[in-house]
Structure formats: C-alpha cells, structure tokens
Amino acid sequence: MSGALIVHKAGPAMSLQDLGRPGLLSRGLSRGGAADRLALAEGAALLGQGSECAALEMAGMGGVFEATQSLRIALTGAPMRATLDAAPLVWGASHGLRAGMRLEIGPVLAGIYGYLQVGGGFAASEVLGARGAHLSAGIGRVLAAGDRLAVGADAGGETGLALPQDDRFSGGTLRALHGPQTAMFSSDEVARFQSTRFARDARGNRMGVRLIPDGAGFHSRAGLSILSDIVVPGDIQITGDGAPMVLLSECQTTGGYPRIGTVLPCDLPRAAQAPAGAALTIRFVDRAEALAAERATANAVRALSGRLTRLVRDPRDMRDLLAYQLISGVTAGKTEGG
Amino acid sequence: MTHVSEHSAGGFPRIDWLGLDGLLVRFGDALSEPANRAALALRHAVTREGWPEVEEVTSALVSTYLRFDPLSADGADVRARLAKLVDSRDWMAEPLPGGRRLWRVPAVFGTDLAPQLAEAAELAGVTPEQAIAQIAATRLRVQTIGFAPGQPYLGELPENWAIPRQTALTPRVEVGALCVAIRQMTLFSTATPTGWRQVAQTALRLFRPESETPFVLSPGDEVLFEPVERSAYELLCAEGPDGGAVAEVLA
C-alpha cells in the first residue's frame, strides 16, 4: 500500500469510477463506469499508466484533499478551479502532491465531470470485476468528508506534463445512428429532430441527460405503449413529454420508451459533459461514417502520450518546483519535447 | 446478404443494428410465451456458437441482443452469421433451455408490508383471498432480467390481471417487494419508486454484489410464491438473503 488520499470536503456527487463492468447486461446490470471515459484515458496518458485505474469523478464541484504521502496526480475532464497550498494548478495536467499539502478543487468552469487521478490508481476492492461505484445499482457509494481512499502502488514517472484542452465541455453536435425503433417516427419527425437545437436540461445524472427542444416535442407513431426492450448507453429515448433523453453509462438495461436512435460511443463524453443550458444538436450518420469516427477517436486515444507537453514553470514558485522534482525523480530537461 | 434484407423488411424475426456495436433480433412487438421462449433459445444458441467477436449476449422479453467490438470485428460478417443462425430453425417452436430451476419463495401477501393487495385485487376483479390463491397457483417464468440488477420480469398471470400501471408512482418499495401490472410481476432487487402495485413482500434478496453468487435468478427459471403469515416475515429475514426461498433443478 502506498498511502491514501484523505477527503476533507466533498462535492455532492463524487465517486470512484473506472471503465465499468461490461458483460453483465443479462444480469440486469449496465456497464456503468466513468461518465467521460476519454478523461480516464487522458489521465492515464498523463501518469503513464493504464486507463483501467480507478479515478475520482467529481460532478460539478470538487473537494478538499490531503495525501498521507507523496502522490502523483492528474486532473482531467471538465476543468475546475484547483489549487495546491493556495497556488493555482493547471487543469489537464499532472502534478506532484506531497504529504500534508492541501489540494483544493472548486467548482467546474466548463462541462460537468472533472477527474482526479492518482499514480497507481485508487485501490478500492473490486466488486463484480471493477472498483468503481454503480450508484443506481447500489454498488459503492457517493464519497464524503472523512473518507480515506487507499492508493495503489505507483510505478512512478514524471509530473508537470499537460495535454491540450479539448472542446467537449460546452455542447456541440452529437453523431447518432438509426436504431430498431427509428422507424416508429415519421421521416418528417426524424428530419425535424436533426434540425432542432436542444438545450441540455438541468436534470441529468450518470443514467442520462435530458435535452429540451427549442420547438415542439417529438412523438412516435406507436405512442408510448411499446414493449420494454434492451437499451444501451447512447440510446436517445423520447419520454412522455416529447423531450429526448440521451442514456449514459449507468442507464437501466431495459426500457419501454421509444428510441429515435443511438449516439456514437465516441460522442458520449460530449453528451455527458454538456453543462445545463448548453446547445446540442444531433446528426444522424451512416454506419461507415460512424465506424470511421469511432476509429479516429480510438487512434487519438492511442496517440495521447505523444501529445504531452511540459508545463511551463515559474522558477519563483519553489513549492511547486520542489514537489515536482521530489516526486518525478527526473529533471525536466531529461525528456524535453517528449 | 439476402437474409439481411428479408429480416429488415418487416415481419418477425427481425434483425436490426442497435448502436455501432450491437445487433438485436426481435421475435414480435408484443409479449407472448412463444416469442419469449424464442428469445431465450436464440440467446443460448448464440452463446453456444462461441463466435470470438461476440463480447456479450442477452435476451429481453421477446428479443435477443449481442454486442461485438466494432473496431476489431467486421459487423457485416457478424450480422450475416447471425442471420444464418436465425434462419436455421423455427425459434418459436424451440424448447426452453436446460438447466432451469424452480424457485419456491415465501411471500407475505397484503398487511402493512404490501398495502396495495386489496386495490390490485379489485382491479383484477377478485377478492384479496382469490388474488392470493391465483398468484400462488401460477408458475411464473423469469421472462428476462432487467430494470435493475438481478430483477426478474415474471409472467404470465391469468387474463384478469391485465391491470394497468398506476398513474402516480409509489415513492418507494423495499427490496423483495412483489409487484404486479399487465399480467406480469416483478420482485424488486433494489429499493425504488415504482408504478407497479405491491401485493406481497418477500425476504429474498436478488442482488448481492459482495457475495459469491451476486445474482440469484436466471431467465427461464420458474417461480412459485408461497403465502406465509405476517408473523413469519421477521423469521424469514433472519434466515439470510434467501429469505426461505428454495430451488430445485427442472428436468
């Protein structure tokens, strides 16, 4: 065991998350896992470790933390105001955290879900093959002040690295595929759906986000009386009031609302990270375009470690510099440009 | 590829993509015993095929779903093989899969634990006593597991139980609540709000995430609810997560 991260203060919806538990649909358990899986991959690249490591997911608001011994951390996902012993920390970057230092993560500046990752990952015990919480299924729980989160053994590596900021934290266009129930909607209705500008509703959680259309709601020809069937993350279900709901990782495994299509997996981080009021549109693509988009995202994830840049450091900020050298164990010049 | 166009043209069974990484075979658009049996049988057949690209197989009330990795597998090829398998026999005439179990589950009907028994019975056109007798006499099949982990959709009750869901939700039912709507029952695996009416309470916990056997029921299993007195409930709870339920393997 290499120590722990103490939670002194916690926002209202903070939990451990990883890549979830795929393969249990037949048991009624959806995959779950981080709302923004890309953020896990970014943190993994920053820390030079696998993206299967469990991370702290913070919805809307961070918390106050202290390490019991020196840790490497990475801050990814929705940018939040962060300080280390009152000195500002760059988001989307890795940093050193020495024992006793006070890490404060404040409100989100864009997006919804910010992530705090640690070298070695959080060492919570596995339940059904994963360490993360599945809140709607009652696996794990929301974290609170007083929690001590054990940290796994860190293979080590540098800190002070950064990734370019992504644009997925303010809405945009979600690409989607037609699905088994798209034909329940008239072609006019599907066309209107694509040309509609939606605002992300304030209601939303790890199960799904509701979108408010700027015009009339949407209705299937089959009405609402359809038989429950398999639902998957990304499915766009049209609820009783005609507003679409994009299902996320912690959705139910079956559902009885008609679904107009399914958002591509590679666009789910954008859906999950759209803050309340953000403008979203949905564009249907064919399978070839969807596959190309998914492949491009997978390639970009693989290339993340090649996009790391070194944080420019102010030598007058000795505390940060000390932490940096203490923990990384290598000098900045050693991998310049790497 | 003729299979694909035939299956997509309407009529059942019908194959559709579900998202980038999934395929769905539907055997109908309404619940029926043969369609439920077909979905279960195809699910077991796909599992038996052991296609290396397939990462997950499951079934819902009248459909079978499989998931593959779209970046490493050729989806069109997976779909063509699935279509060939679907075409290979009349799934509505297939028997139920083997290895199923019959569960006998003690249940307290009515009382303060399940206060909607009288209301549900009235909607079903019977007295509470007749309602209990009808439910207890029906061997209910686990049609699928869904909504919540380990939670079964059970069917089918006699026709007089085609009662609608409530328009307003019950704010909370407890784990083990037995609820009814539209000739189906469900036994809740988590505490949750519901539009179904609660007619009984059991001490059976269907989802035990920390245990060696986290999930209790499987699709195709059958369940008989055995009425017990209110006074028996605490004793059943003390028996552990099985709550007095016993299972035997069906021949």
Note the pLDDT tens digit of each residue in B84-118: 999 999 999 999 988 899 999 999 999 999 999 99
Are both A126 and A262 inside the same structural domain? no
Residues of A in contact with B22 (CB under 8 A): 230, 232
Are both A111 and A78 inside the same structural domain? yes
**For the segment A120-147, what is each residue's pLDDT rounded down to a tens digit?**
999 999 999 999 999 989 999 999 999 9
Are both A269 and A287 inside the same structural domain? yes
pLDDT at A225: 65
pLDDT at B101: 97
Same fold yes or no, B2-93 and B101-249: no
**Alpha-carbon gap: B232 to the closest alpha carbon of chain A (Å):** 27
Task: Tell me whether residues B56 and A226 touch, CB distance under 8 A.
Answer: no
Angle, nearest 10°, between helix axes B75-87 and B33-49?
130
pLDDT at B165: 86
**Alpha-carbon gap: B216 to the closest alpha carbon of chain A (Å):** 9
Task: Tell me whether residues B215 and A23 touch, CB distance under 8 A.
Answer: no
Are both A195 and A224 inside the same structural domain? yes
Are both A74 and A146 inside the same structural domain? yes
> For residue A56, which amino acid is it?
L
Reading the block at residue A246, the tokens are 């994009």
Taking only Cα atoms into account, the Rg of chain A, rounded to an integer number of angstroms, comes to: 21
Enumerate chain B positions whose Cβ falls within 8 A of a Cβ in A.
14, 16-22, 24, 26, 29-31, 43, 55-63, 65, 67, 70-71, 75, 144-151, 153, 189-190, 207, 209-210, 214-215, 219
- A333 exposure class (CB count in 10 Å sphere: 0-12, 13-18, 19+): exposed
Q: What is the percent of chain B with per-residue pLDDT over 90, rounded to a whole number?
A: 87
> Nearest CB to A254: which of B17, B31, B147?
B147
pLDDT category of residue B6 using cuts at 50, 70 and 90 = very low
H-assigned helices in chain A: 37-47, 187-195, 268-273, 287-302, 318-328
pLDDT at A200: 97
Residues whose CB falls within 8 Å of the CB of residue A46, separated by 6 or more in sequence, listed in order:
A74, A76, A93, A94, A117, A161, A162, A163, A308
- How many domains in chain A? 2
pLDDT at A326: 42
Residues of B in contact with A182 (CB under 8 A): none
Just give the CATH number of B101-249.
2.40.100.10
pLDDT at A314: 55
pTM: 0.91
pLDDT category of residue B147 using cuts at 50, 70 and 90 = confident
Reading the block at residue A320, the tokens are 């940060």
Task: Tell me whether residues A227 and B215 touch, CB distance under 8 A.
Answer: no
Are both A62 and A196 inside the same structural domain? no
**Alpha-carbon gap: A128 to the closest alpha carbon of chain B (Å):** 7
Q: Output A241 or B41, whichever has higher pLDDT.
A: B41
Q: Is it the case that residue A335 has pLDDT exceeding 60?
A: no
Mean pLDDT of chain B: 93
Domain limits, chain B: 2-93, 101-249
Are both A72 and A130 inside the same structural domain? yes
Other C-beta atoms closer than 10 Å to the C-beta of A338 total 11
Task: Tell me whether residues B17 and A253 touch, CB distance under 8 A.
Answer: no
Distance CA B71, CA A295 (A): 7
Reading the block at residue B24, the tokens are 């769905």
pLDDT at A321: 44
Residues whose CB falls within 8 Å of the CB of residue A13, separated by 6 or more in sequence, listed in order:
A58, A59, A60, A61, A142, A205
| Residue of chain B whose alpha carbon sits nearest to that of A139 | B209
- Pick from A123-127, A224-228, A317-321, B70-74: least confident: A317-321
Task: Tell me whether residues B209 and A138 touch, CB distance under 8 A.
Answer: yes
Distance CA A37, CA A20 (A): 10
| Residue of chain A whose alpha carbon sits nearest to that of B63 | A229
Q: What is the percent of chain A with per-residue pLDDT over 90, rounded to a whole number?
A: 86
CATH class of B2-93: alpha beta
Kind of pairing between the strands at A279-284 and A172-177: parallel
Reading the block at residue B125, the tokens are 């056109």
Distance CA B92, CA A237 (A): 29
Task: Tell me whether residues A26 and B145 touch, CB distance under 8 A.
Answer: yes
Residues whose CB falls within 8 Å of the CB of residue A336, separated by 6 or more in sequence, listed in order:
A310
Range of the domain at A179: 172-300
Are both A271 and A325 inside the same structural domain? no
Are both A10 and A137 inside the same structural domain? yes
Are both A271 and A217 inside the same structural domain? yes
Residues of A in contact with B19 (CB under 8 A): 177, 179, 232, 234-235, 262, 265
**Alpha-carbon gap: B129 to the closest alpha carbon of chain A (Å):** 31
Are both A45 and A132 inside the same structural domain? yes
Q: Is it the case that residue B216 has pLDDT exceeding 70?
A: yes
Are both A85 and A204 inside the same structural domain? no
**For the segment A58-110, what is each residue's pLDDT rounded down to a tens digit?**
999 999 999 999 999 999 999 999 999 999 999 999 999 999 999 999 999 99
